[in-house]
Amino acid sequence: MADIYVLDWHDRALMDTYREVFLKNTPAYDYGMECSSLKIYCKPVDLTVPTDNEMGMAYAKYLIDRYTRYGENRFINVLRQGICRASDRVAGDILSIADVRWLDGIDEAKRLSSRIKKLKQRVKGDSGGNETVDSLRDEISGLQKDIADWEEIASELETSNSEAAAKIDMLTRDAMRLENEKRAVERKLEMAELEQLNANALNGIRKALTVVPENLTQLLDLAKVLYPDRIVILPDAYRSAKKFDGILTEEWEILVAVATTLWDLCFKETVNDRLGSEFKKRTGYELARGESGTTCAMPNLMKLRKRMYKGKEIDISPHIKGRNIKAAFRLHFYIDRDEEKIVIGHAGEHMDTAGTPRR
């Protein structure tokens, strides 16, 4: 029996647990794996012991793709052979085709030995007049030669099988060592990139704060610098922001709420049907999942809520309403679940609806 664990990288709670188990800067981190990869351990492992990691077999995505290019059965055979090599071998175990051939040789030698024994008994007994002692002895001699040949074949197979298994084990360990070294280099690169990213982000924040934001466009610039991993601001949002003169404090509160509270609700907590109520409970601002039925029934109005994003048309009907009735600030957005980002497509005045058309 085997214990099989499959990680869904979209399950944030599961991934948090995974990161806690395979904690960075500890021996356990080396036991982790890359996305779309596979690791197999045939013995219990201790995550606090670095050397135990060498007992496993690692298959990176590029290897899996290479083996499955000509059908999944090829990769299945590779897995089977790898598991056989990594298993504790006990006398008599059949772990490969070479083992079968070796046992065939042993069985054939035993069968021939049995025939010789019977022939010797026939020589001592009554031959029935149809066989001479010399002919029987000749047959025994031939069989003895066959036995010697089979025993030699079996011995050679056993030796070559052992040598091949040892070589494969050595190569497997080398591959694991190189994989661990690669992961160590990748961690260093990751840390270097993170440091560079932090430095770039800090420089961006400093640049954005060289002046105090005086309008909505500058607020969008600041939000984009502060939350590049959470929000995307489309050119249409900037165009609508340029034409809007509202209350900066309220607009900034909504922008921050989008990048923090709304992002958490969409990608960490996944409240789904309770998105609007939860957002209002935490921020005080009203969130509408879409437009009214009458507005949705008017194609010309719904066309105003379409944007181009990553080469496809998206709907930015979901929106957040400012509390100031006179300013009537609206922020329309789209939820990109693949990239886990909130895409802002409009930031400015109240868009035309069936009830409040602007002429």
Are 222 and 341 members of one domain? yes
**Number of domains within the chain:** 3
Domain-ending residue, one of 50, 68, 88: 88
Are 115 and 218 members of one domain? no
Are 338 and 218 members of one domain? yes
Are 109 and 77 members of one domain? no
Most confident of 40-44, 111-115, 223-227: 223-227
Contact status, residue 57 vs residue 82, Cβ threshold 8 Å: yes
354 falls within a domain: no
Are 80 and 110 members of one domain? no
More confident call, 64 vs 325: 325
Average pLDDT in the chain? 78
Domain-ending residue, one of 88, 104, 123: 88
pLDDT grade for 359, boundaries at 50, 70 and 90: very low
Share of the chain above pLDDT 90, in %: 32
pLDDT, residue 199, reads 77
289 falls within a domain: yes
Are 328 and 312 members of one domain? yes
146 falls within a domain: yes
pLDDT grade for 162, boundaries at 50, 70 and 90: low
Rounded Cα–Cα distance for residues 77 and 108 (Å): 28
Contacts 24+ apart (CB under 8 A), 209-213: 213/248, 213/252
178 falls within a domain: yes
138 falls within a domain: yes
Rounded Cα–Cα distance for residues 78 and 85 (Å): 11
Mean pLDDT of 69-93: 62
pLDDT, residue 187, reads 76
Beta-carbon contacts of residue 168 (< 8 Å; ≥ 6 apart): 85
Residue with tokens 């065939």: 104
Question: H or E stretch including 247?
Answer: none
* pLDDT value at 256 more than 70: yes
Residue ranges making up the domain that contains 107: 92-210
Are 41 and 167 members of one domain? no
pLDDT, residue 112, reads 65
pLDDT grade for 37, boundaries at 50, 70 and 90: confident
- Give every strand in the sheet of 319-321, ordered side by side: 231-233, 341-348, 330-336, 319-321, 286-288
Rounded Cα–Cα distance for residues 273 and 277 (Å): 9
Of the candidates 236, 240, 258, 244, which has an alpha carbon nearest to the alpha carbon of residue 215? 244
353 falls within a domain: no
pLDDT in tens, 142-154: 777 766 666 666 6
Mean pLDDT of 157-177: 69
Phi-psi region of 25 (alpha: psi -120 to 50; beta: other; left: phi over 0): left
More confident call, 163 vs 322: 322
357 falls within a domain: no
pTM here is 0.48
355 falls within a domain: no
Are 228 and 199 members of one domain? no
Domain-ending residue, one of 43, 61, 88: 88
Are 246 and 267 members of one domain? yes
Distances (CA, A) of 189 to 34, 46, 53, 296: 15, 27, 22, 49
Are 262 and 173 members of one domain? no
Are 134 and 76 members of one domain? no
Are 113 and 175 members of one domain? yes
Contact status, residue 332 vs residue 351, Cβ threshold 8 Å: yes
Contact status, residue 67 vs residue 82, Cβ threshold 8 Å: no
